[in-house]
């Protein structure tokens, strides 16, 4: 707990005095984030830091390889789907951003095979993006395949979001916008998916 508590003390001494009024407002009035971000659990990729967002601005769910499963309302446990439902139907966010990143371990596992110690859950989870693997394996180099697979997994997640009927309805009504993005860990550069060309370009 040492490093965590050290960070908490810095928060209390430096950040809390500057943000106290904002937290008190959020506590009294509730949250009203403008955007949901579906990002990877990778410790190097922090949506709040990347978008310079303050408390209450982003509703964030993170999972291995920033994947969204298809709409499947059954008795199983659906953490990401539950977060999407809450963000869209309860909080009324105006956009959902699926943000992938370079050097993604989940995508590497999809391409090269899941490590034995991650076979209970990770192996099944990343199969959501199986189509991305097929696309990426046509690339000439491992680096190109990795990036192509990361990009395609973002597209797949956006397509899967549209299988949720209330997401599709909100998009059709112009109340919700779906966007894709890709963050370069080593470069700090953000690419965004152009919905017209279906290609990624730098901001």
Q: Which of 127, 64, 57 lies closest to 95 in space, CA to CA?
A: 57
Of the residues 10, 20, 22, 44, only one is catalytic, namely 44
Q: Which residues are CB-neighbours of 80 under 8 A, at least 6 positions away?
A: 38, 61, 63, 67, 68, 69
40 is catalytic: yes
Of the residues 40, 133, 149, 182, only one is catalytic, namely 40
Of the residues 101, 108, 151, 182, only one is catalytic, namely 101
130 is catalytic: no
The whole-angstrom separation of Cα 80 and Cα 177 is 18
149 is catalytic: no
Of the residues 6, 34, 42, 131, only one is catalytic, namely 42
104 is catalytic: yes
Q: Which of 27, 91, 12, 26 lies closest to 56 in space, CA to CA?
A: 26
CB 104 within 8 A of CB 44: no
Long-range contacts of 55-58 (CB under 8 A, 24+ apart): 55/19, 55/22, 55/23, 55/26, 56/22, 56/26, 56/31, 56/32, 57/33, 58/33, 58/34
139 is catalytic: no
Of the residues 62, 104, 149, 182, only one is catalytic, namely 104
Residues forming the active site:
40, 42, 44, 101, 104
């Amino acid at each position: 707990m040492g490093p965590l508590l050290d960070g908490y003390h810095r928060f209390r001494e430096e950040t809390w005095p500057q943000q106290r009024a904002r937290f008190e407002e959020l506590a009294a009035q509730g949250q009203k984030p403008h955007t949901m971000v579906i990002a990877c659990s990778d410790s190097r990729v922090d949506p709040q830091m990347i978008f310079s967002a303050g408390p209450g601005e982003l509703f964030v769910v993170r999972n291995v390889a920033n994947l969204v499963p298809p709409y499947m309302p059954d008795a199983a446990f659906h953490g990401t789907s539950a977060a999407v439902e809450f963000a869209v139907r309860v909080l009324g966010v105006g956009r959902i951003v699926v943000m992938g990143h370079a050097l993604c371990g989940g995508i590497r596992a999809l391409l090269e095979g899941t490590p034995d110690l991650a076979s209970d859950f990770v192996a099944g989870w990343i199969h959501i993006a199986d189509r991305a693997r097929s696309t990426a394996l046509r690339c000439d180099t491992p680096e190109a395949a990795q990036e192509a697979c990361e990009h395609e997994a973002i597209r797949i997640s956006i397509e899967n979001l549209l299988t949720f009927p209330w997401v599709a309805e909100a998009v059709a009504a112009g109340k919700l916008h779906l966007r894709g993005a890709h963050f370069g860990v080593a470069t700090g550069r953000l690419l965004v998916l152009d919905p017209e060309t279906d290609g990624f370009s730098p901001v």
